Amino acid sequence: MKILIPIYLIAVVFSSVFLFQDSELKESMKRGREIYTDFCVTCHLQKGEGVAYTFPPLARSDYLMNEKRESIKAIKYGLQGEITVNGITYNSAMADLGLEDEEVADVMNYISNSWGNTSDSIVTEKEVASIQK
């Protein structure tokens, strides 16, 4: 019996952490969706499909998922120059949208968990703040 109590307490603590993170992620994604609609949908379109050879897709995007730090940097500071997404080279400019670090994190959480993308971790404001030009 004495061994069951610590096991139970450990299970409760770990469950709480995962439930809290899930709730935190859902709230961040909700905010991120609003920001995406206000700033990103014009180029990347409603379902993140982008415009072939002009604006890269965010849906099922290998670049977004494999280059997390660079993706955050692009949202935070804009992007200019060539990138390759899903085997297609894009060379257009993305303006600095003037988003706060929390907004960048929210958008990243939204796009990293939408349209066939799945992320194992939540992007935090602190993580975004650590990324410099």
Query: Whole-model pTM?
Result: 0.83
Full set of structural domains in the chain with CATH: 4-129 (1.10.760.10)
Distance of CA 51 to the CA centre of its chain: 20
Q: Find the mean pLDDT for residues 46-70.
A: 97
Reported as a single tens digit per residue, the pLDDT across 112-131 is 999 999 999 999 999 999 99
Reported as a single tens digit per residue, the pLDDT across 6-29 is 565 565 555 444 444 589 999 999
Rounded CA-CA distance 18/41 in Å is: 31
